[in-house]
Chains A and B, each alone.
Chain A
Amino acid sequence: MAELHKIIANVKDALGSGAQNNSHDADAAAAIPVSPSAQRAELVSAFARELEEVGGKFLGIVTPAELTSRIVTLAGEIGAKSVAIGQGVASDMGAIGEALERADFRIVRTLPVADIERAPMRARVADADLGIADADFAIASTGTLAVVSNPQRPSSLTLLPPASLAIVQIDRIMPNLAAALAAIGPAGVAANRLTLITGPSRTADIEKRIVLGVHGPKSLHVIVVWPHDD
């Protein structure tokens, strides 16, 4: 690591004494805004509008009881044969998986894998027509989903299949990016890979024309869950 010390020394010299600079302590982290029920409808509608603007599809607000059947309907609508599904943040993915199986969809369940099992598991996720994952948070101002991956919910779920479905709990819609990052916090971000997803994969590399589905999903669907007793 000789280079480290050399470069740091160069940087230090370049900065001069460096001591007179005020510290970069910013204001204490803002308290996480928990949206009261009254604001929720407003946040959902802003989120839905922004999501559609970036080419995502908003499937509406459902109760937890309606969620499973709505997902089965979607899988049918997009003509999926196999569906990849991971463990949820709040949703009961076990029940959703069983319902999809009863409706004759082939299910790929992402479980913790040993190194040797990675390639075959990944190939199965890549072959699935639809990937389903709970989002940790959603961001109303940009139509963004925040997904922290873990062994049961790998990043591949929202990346490899050509269609992606995200499930968002209503109390997890944050007004803006800063609020969402504050809610996840440094420890949450460092826990594993975090991905912010704003619409389907896209490019404008050919004459600045927008084309969807370059490397990631061509279609992105979102369902918001709003419990009755809330």
Chain B
Amino acid sequence: MPEVSKARDFFESSTAAIADHELRRKLESASSRHLDHFAQVKAEFPPYEEERDAAHRIKTDAIAHLDELLIELTSSLQARGCKVFFAEDAAQARDYIVGLAKAKGAKNVVKGKSMTTEEIDLNDAFAKAGIDAVETDLGEYIVQLRGERPSHIITPAIHLSKEDIGQLFTDKFGIDYTAEPEKLTAEARSRLRAIFLAADFGVTGVNFAIAETGTLIVVENEGNGRLSSTMPETFVAVMGIEKVIPRLEDLSHFLEILARTATGQKLTTYTSFVTGPRREGDLDGPREMHVVILDNGRSAMLADPVLREALNCIRCGACLNVCPIYRRIGGHAYRSVYPGPIGSIVSPNLFGSAAGHLPFASTLCGACKDICPVKIDIPRILLHLRWKESTGKHPLKWPRAIERARRGARRFAKTAQYPRTIRALGKFAAILLKPFAHNGYLRRMPGPFGNWTKYRNFPRPRPHKRPQG
């Protein structure tokens, strides 16, 4: 089970992250550079909005026909010689993949970048079985060497500086220290190339699965996905049930927007279309190809008419880059495999009540909804999840400070029904707080309100400004 935080852990980790100015600098610089690229490629591509509409329409329609499409995909995959395994939960998927690797006597497992394998905590399962599984995406390789998890679904090492990575390579490989990205990349290339040539078992995720042809699409920039799916004799692709789209002709609408929002590219460097294992006489490709199709809470999301829309997600990561919360605390503070706005939606559904507090970690500003390439109404779904969490069988256990704030808010809501009382209280507070104010702002407030002024100033209430009407 991947580490998933309880509310208190999140409260502590996010508090610590907010105080980490170095982390904030890295996140701000990476996110804003990213958003600049996106704005530029979007401006250069007039049909962007049309493609976005088409992608939204196709995906919504595909999700509405998911049962038929999964049956069609399964028979297409089998017709091409793939072995298909449906996993109800993470444990089933892990057991199948690790069991297969054991049965094949696999010694060198290579992994292409895949959030779904993070979701099922596959690396840990390989390690427990005594099998070496190497992450081959550069960012994933770096975080694996550090014994960490990715802090961003597209840019796993976004929380590290080049100096951090230089030091890591010196410590792990005993090479001379360098912080030049070119040299660090060359070092990783030569180490990983040797591993690839000896690999006997490969695992990647899947970006799209075409039901019509049984083709799996893997999108990436480095070549780690290509190598992981061509070099080893056994190849396993892991996909959530929501990855299926009906036809080949649907695909271009997604590819035209995915790279633009994810990385600010027009297309990623490599888009691999894998249809079955290698053919007679082929140099490349696996002898055996397995496709693990994972539910793990997704069909429960499908059953909820509001949540269902979240299955449209194509994991571009754009909502992370615009989120004011993510940009302050980074991915690790969420203590969940999927961080950021979309992570706060899927985590409670994939990992249960341990992540039930995450939908509350949002300002509901709507930036995520605006940028989402498949137009998921993330704030609406977050509100829905808050409602579910607050009215469910096991309401959240909040840290005391938050519980007090909630009680305070409830009292305020009652009091606010009486405008005269509110005005009188406002006047009273203004007089009471006056001695604590400097230049019109309160820097420290007493009691539970202190949680607010710990990180920001609060404008001093001004009695002479009456609300209109």
Contacts and interface: CB of A to CB of B under 8 A. Distances in A.
B387 to A, nearest CB: 20
Interface in B148-196: 155-158, 160-162, 165, 181-182, 184-186, 188-189, 192-193, 196
Contact of A197 (B65, B87, B270, B280): B270
Interface in A184-230: 185-186, 189-209, 211, 213-216
A65 interface: no
Contacts of B285: 155, 193
B252 A24 contact: no
B42 to A, nearest CB: 14
A156 B283 contact: yes
B282 A151 contact: yes
Interface string A102-137: 000000001011110010011101100000000000
A54 B87 CA distance: 39
Given A15-B67, A122-B197, A192-B279, 16 more contacts: A7-B86, A11-B66, A21-B61, A24-B65, A26-B58, A144-B267, A151-B280, A159-B223, A190-B213, A193-B275, A195-B273, A198-B269, A198-B270, A207-B29, A208-B34, A215-B227
B221 interface: yes
A155 B275 CA distance: 13
Contact of B182 (A112, A177, A195, A211): A211
A82 interface: no
Given A181-B251, A185-B248, A186-B248, A15 B64 contact: yes
Nearest to B305: A16
B256 interface: yes
Tell me which of B80, B92, B281 has the highest count of chain A C-beta atoms within 10 A of its own C-beta. B281
Interface residues of B, number: 97
Interface of A: 1, 3-4, 6-8, 10-15, 18, 21-22, 24, 26, 29, 50, 54, 110, 112-115, 118, 121-123, 125-126, 141-144, 149-151, 154-156, 159, 176-178, 181-182, 185-186, 189-209, 211, 213-216
A114 B370 CA distance: 53
Contact of B80 (A8, A141, A190): A190
Contact of A13 (B61, B212, B227, B303): B303
Contact of B70 (A1, A8, A115, A122): A8
B272 interface: yes
Contacts of A154: 282-284
A177 B256 contact: yes
Contacts, number: 248
Contacts of A12: 67
A18 B224 contact: no
Nearest to A28: B249
B283 A122 contact: yes
Contact of B303 (A14, A191, A193, A194): A14
A202 B222 contact: yes
B299 interface: yes
Contact of B157 (A3, A13, A191, A206): A206
Contacts of A22: 61
Contacts of B84: 1, 4
A215 B33 CA distance: 24
Contact of B222 (A26, A149, A196, A214): A214
A194 B255 CA distance: 15
Nearest to B185: A211
B302 A15 contact: yes
Contacts of A182: 249
A205 B155 contact: yes
Contacts of B261: none
B62 interface: yes
A193 B273 contact: yes
Contacts of B231: 122
Contacts of B158: 208
B107 interface: no
A208 to B, nearest CB: 5
A197 B461 CA distance: 60
A113 B300 CA distance: 47
B269 A113 contact: no
A205 B215 CA distance: 28
B155 A26 contact: no
B221 A202 contact: yes
Interface string B54-68: 000010011011111
Given A195-B272, A198-B269, A207-B181, A11 B64 contact: no
B280 A209 contact: no
Interface string B240-267: 0100001111111001100000010111
B274 interface: yes
B156 A10 contact: no
B74 interface: yes
A21 B62 CA distance: 10
B213 A214 contact: no
B30 interface: yes
Contacts of A155: 226, 230, 283-285
Interface in B283-326: 283-285, 287, 293, 295, 299-300, 302-303
A193 to B, nearest CB: 6
B139 interface: yes
Contacts of A3: 85-88, 92
B214 to A, nearest CB: 7
A211 B64 CA distance: 41
Nearest to B139: A205
B416 interface: no
Interface in B124-158: 136-139, 142, 155-158
B283 A118 contact: yes
A30 to B, nearest CB: 8
A15 B182 CA distance: 50
Interface string B27-43: 00110011000000000
A186 B61 contact: no
Given A4-B84, A14-B302, A186-B212, A26 B249 contact: yes
Given A112-B281, A215-B136, A215-B223, A196 B295 contact: no
Contacts of B70: 7-8, 11
A4 B284 contact: no
Nearest to A143: B266
Interface in B11-52: 26, 29-30, 33-34
Contacts of B353: none
A213 B185 contact: yes
